Structure 1
């Protein structure tokens, strides 16, 4: 039996503490053909020296600068050859045998491009984790959501999402993807820098005719927010800007125009709410996100979906 080679690639930026805590779990994954790679995004701490001295079996890729999550992975994966990539956040604790069932499922269907395991909260281990939970979807207004999470509230895992199935997007916290599909889709959109780049990638893969899957037999535990905290206005800026980028790029033209028009008003309501709550920097971040969206309108228009296939969230 031919066993696919898997490369687990951990993008690191000043994350020595996470690497020290979680790399041993990755090394104990138990997959027979496994490469473990730390791709460093020009860290200012001693992450690289630490990995070299404490984990010599782990490969290192050194990016020349901090390209963000999207550009950092794009740069690193140019140097990696394997049948499958697993993009794993540095603040994720994996469990023994977490790789094999997902790979077996993906090998069973050539139309599966990407997948995610069940993501649970590292601190509250009975609960799902915010950034992925039991698989991602998008509502009619373009807002991403997950099974196992409603707004900021996460559910306890009582087995309610223990059936594998197709989803709209898989979390970038632990993203399995076939290398051929990564190359066909062109990887992440580096203009996103960080946040929602995996949703955009999954949407593009679906527009190419592929499936995105959730496989709950595999479970990992995610801390979340390790690099950019929710209260940071820059995170607000990226989330609002990148969501508009994604809608323009992936929706059919007519629906994109209507959805974006509605979103502008909904975003304006969000801006007013931030002002009412005294969060002026977050309100300014939304305004800045809209300015950036219009400044990039022509560039994003050229990144539109294939003419023969253009899926909307309702198509799933």
Structure 2
């Protein structure tokens, strides 16, 4: 790593939360190293959430220049990031998932937004998949009943380009930077002074919705959130959660419903669940029909989609414990 200084002296702290992804650590940390501008003191902290794959031993043997915080249990994404935030003092902080890769110039590009806009609290890059295709979950509109309805009922796809039909995710790729409602915490740079004002990540959130919540609180307090269209990073998505088959999407939906009730109240939460029932129910019925009409192997794919949406329909009817 370039000049791995102590957290007090560092210009930037890079935080990586790891849970059983030892095989991803080298490429992730090497991309951070390659993207660190010469002369920038970047203190790398890896917070390990009780991995059982030898991650901690591997880090201490192969990346001794990184600080390792080894937890005895999986404390979740938000608490783990907050541990590193509390253990550091640099003016800016980069959060990056183990399944994300920075491109050379990525750190400098994001830092440039913080320098140019003194009210910028959060900046996130354009995210792409491993094959280079655009990842629409990179940023999006604020989560409201309107934007969620557009997403759940498919209006964003039926009426593309109409502002009133904008959903919670970016509708299309763009080369123009702008201020969205939120950017993904898969790769996210923060201004510490803003985080000290608005508060750390919400530790009631175990995983998912942390980025939407943090960006919303920043915007509520008059800070800006920037989507850096001219900075690209690769995000392979869900490396940790995919190791537990079928868990990622259900947990994301539960996290959304809990956050929405805390943010907007129980009546709005009931309205959201009604939209989920309509959206997921309609999709389940549509794919059930396709599973009958289509020929193999399309029939198998339709049945798989039907079961997935039926699962989401059941989740929408679960009690919400905030």
TM above 0.5, yes or no, is yes
Which of 149, 166, 169 is residue 182 of structure 2 equivalent to? 169
1:146 to partner: Cα distance:
2.5
1:267 to partner: Cα distance:
2.0
* Alpha-carbon distance in structure 2 between the residues aligned to 1:190 and 1:203: 15
Deviations 1:258-281 (A, max 9, x none): x43421212223554558623565
Secondary structure, in 3 states, of the residue corresponding to 2:35? Answer: coil
Gaps of 5+ in 2: 1-8, 149-166, 289-305
Q: Structure 1 residue 28 and structure 2 residue 34: aligned?
A: yes
Which of 220, 224, 228 is residue 207 of structure 1 equivalent to? 220
1:240 to partner: Cα distance:
2.4
Secondary structure, in 3 states, of the residue corresponding to 2:137? Answer: coil
1:234 to partner: Cα distance:
3.5
Which stretch shifts more, 197-206 or 31-40?
31-40
* Alpha-carbon distance in structure 2 between the residues aligned to 1:236 and 1:224: 12
Which of 233, 239, 256 is residue 243 of structure 1 equivalent to? 256
Query: Residues 1-316 of structure 1: matches in 2 within 5 Å?
Result: 5-31=11-37, 32-122=40-130, 124-125=131-132, 127-132=133-138, 135-138=139-142, 140-141=144-145, 142-143=147-148, 145-147=168-170, 161-229=174-242, 232-251=245-264, 257=267, 259-270=268-279, 272=281, 273=283, 277-279=306-308, 281-287=311-317, 290-291=318-319, 293=320, 295-296=321-322
Return the TM-score normalized by structure 1. 0.77
Secondary structure, in 3 states, of the residue corresponding to 1:35? Answer: strand
Deviations 1:93-128 (A, max 9, x none): 111111112112212222111010111111x21x11
1:27 to partner: Cα distance:
1.2
1:139 to partner: Cα distance:
5.7
Change in CA separation of 1:231 and 1:137 when aligned onto 2, cut-off 3 Å: farther
Gaps of 5+ in 1: 150-159, 297-316
* Alpha-carbon distance in structure 2 between the residues aligned to 1:231 and 1:270: 26
Secondary structure, in 3 states, of the residue corresponding to 2:110? Answer: helix
* Alpha-carbon distance in structure 2 between the residues aligned to 1:225 and 1:281: 19
1:17 to partner: Cα distance:
0.5
In 2, are the aligned partners of 1:136 and 1:169 still within 8 Å (CA)?
yes
1:131 to partner: Cα distance:
3.1
* Alpha-carbon distance in structure 1 between the residues aligned to 2:314 and 2:140: 28
Return the TM-score normalized by structure 2. 0.76
- Over alpha carbons, which structure has the higher Rg? 2
